[in-house]
Structure 1
Amino acid sequence: MSTIIKKMEAEHIQRPLICAPLVGKTFAAIKEELFVITKKQPGLIEWRVDFFEELHKTESVIETGKWIKENAKGIPVLFTRRSTREGGEPISLNEEQVTDLYVSVMKADVIDAVDVELSSPEEAKETILSLAKEKEIQTVMSFHDFSKTPEKEALLAVLKQAQEEGGDVGKIALMPQSLHDVLIVAEVTEEANRELTIPIITMSMGPKGALSRLFGGAFGSAVSFAVGQTASAPGQIAIDQLERVLDVIDGSQV
């Protein structure tokens, strides 16, 4: 499998991969957005397909996915349907139809990685993970809470669950109610990166959580999400601004 998202070395401050979201509602909007994003050269593009108005048309999704891959200038593509239960856009598909869409897209060889929510039905997770392994597509097992930041032990358990269920990457995104919550996520990140064998992605959201997008990599978060043209979650920072901060952090390690 081509490992796009790589595990951070414990006890070493490393630069995280920058991922830019693609959230256009139409093919025309996606074309415009991708043109802007590729000029900024992020390490990963996340296609948030729950924003796409033709999500219910599998062939349209596949054809759009092919166009994205052909025009992404070699940048890998992460395919994500975020459910409403975890902060995504409302869609007309039920869970079974979402699984069928994932299967069709993976078989079409137009994506490099897929996001699979840990809260998804067990059968859906098993189907997607099995095919992803066969197709050598990296899987990101994710958990999002847009209302709060759970306790440290609960967050560590979520990341361990991602590994135990066979995910290639574990991801958590939480909403902080205080700066202390941001510190909890940093602590979880450092501990999970040391204890688990898979890469992890962590972040706090919103204005307070924006700090975690700047220094998360120093604690072991493998990816930081940044705005290419349009944000997909609260607290995302523009790519050029994030790059400047990461440059400063890199420079301090010399």
Structure 2
Amino acid sequence: MTMTVVKLKKVELGSGQPKIAVPITGEDQTSVLVQAKQIVAAQPDVIEWRLDYYQDILNTANYRSTATALIKLLGDIPLLTTFRTKKEGGEMALNNNDYFKIYQQVIDSHLTDALDIELFLPNKLVKDLIVLAQDADIAVVISNHDFNKTPAQDVIVERLNKMAALGGDIAKIAVMPNSASDVVTLLKATTIARQELSIPVITMAMGDLGKVSRISGEVFGSALTFGTVGASSAPGQIELTALRRELSELTLAK
């Protein structure tokens, strides 16, 4: 199936080599901006701001001030904004109403280029946020993370299909492998989903076992991988320079 390419500023997800995103995990404005300067200097394709690390995220004025300064620092590098819930490996517990309010502010003030929305939040909340974000020309990544195990291949494919059916622009799933077979399961599911779906897919197996999945996206069909400049946000993320080198080694001949 022909894939729709998703453009985040000048970055195209769904064409060519997988793009690299690097997370910001600062707890306050100072640490966020310090991290951002270091990451921008390394020139990743995308920067992800993990709002669940940010201690003042419920302080509207504080968040807006930091977001505005961050966007100015990023320049042409697109921003993916994510609040990862506690049940999916995030750093902060948050009720659904506050989750919605935070994301509504992000959308209303257009403080991001893409927004990560978790698949297993209440269905109405997910659908409402998708509509609001896309109406504001913000790309939607619908995601699911399992830090304990790797679901069966058909379950992974089913979830990615559901993300597309809900109207997401990009479908993302991350799993925890407990064996080499689990990594194979994730890669097989990625290949199937890439063939079935018209939207870009992001997949990864976490931890050391899963590192191969972070560098082989062009072969199996994952459009984005996550690397590090300093702090990581998930187990198995590879330092940006090394990740860029490994992706280059696995580039497919035209």
Query: What TM-score do you get using the length of structure 1 for normalisation?
Result: 0.94
Q: Does structure 2 retain, via aligned residues, the 8 Å contact 1:8–1:193?
A: no
Q: Is the 8 A contact 2:228 2:239 kept in 1?
A: yes
Deviation of 1:2 (Å) = 6.7
Give the letter for the 2:58 counterpart.
H
Residue ranges of structure 1 left out of the alignment (5+ in a row)? none
Of 13, 19, 22, the residue aligned with 2:21 is: 19
Counterpart residue number, 2:92: 90
1:110-133 CA-to-partner distances (Å, cap 9, x unmatched) read: 100000000111221122111111
> Equivalent residues in 2 for 1:148-227 (5 A)?
148-227=149-228
Q: Partners in 2 of 1:111 and 1:2 — Cα distance?
A: 15
Secondary structure of residue in 1 paired with 2:216 = helix
Distance 1:2 1:217, change over 3 A: closer
Distance verdict in 2 for CA 1:120–1:232, change over 3 Å: same
Q: Which amino acid aligns with 2:91?
A: E
From 54, 58, 61, the equivalent of 1:59 is 61
The residue number in structure 2 matching 1:229 is: 230
Amino acid at match of 1:8: G
* Residue in 2 that maps onto 1:33: 35
- Please, what is the CA RMSD of the aligned residues? 1.6
Higher relative contact order (CA 8 A, sep 6+): 1
Partner SS for 1:111 = coil
Percent identity, aligned pairs only?
Answer: 34
1:8 corresponds, among 5, 14, 23, to 14
- How many Å apart are 1:60 and its aligned residue? 1.3
Task: State the alpha-carbon separation in 2 of the partners of residues 2 and 195 from structure 1.
Answer: 17
Work out the CA distance in 2 between the residues paired with 1:246 and 1:168: 24
1:180 Cα deviation after fit: 1.0
TM-score (ref. length: structure 2): 0.94
Contact 2:6 2:169 in 1 (8 A): no
Unaligned runs of 5+ in 2: none
Question: How many Å separate the matches in 1 of 2:68 and 2:39?
Answer: 17
Give the match for residue 100 of structure 1.
Answer: 101
CA distance in 2, matches of 1:175, 1:143: 12
Asked whether the 8 Å contact 2:49–2:79 carries over to 1, the reply is yes
Q: Match of 1:115, SS?
A: strand
Find the counterpart in structure 2 of residue 242 from structure 1.
Answer: 243
CA–CA distance in structure 2, aligned partners of residues 88 and 63 of structure 1: 23
Report how far residue 3 of structure 1 moved. 2.1
- Corresponding residue number in structure 2 for 1:253: 253
Paired residue secondary structure (1:142): strand
Structure 1: how far apart are the matches of 2:41 and 2:14?
26
C-alpha distance in structure 2 between counterparts of 1:74 and 1:132, whole Å: 20
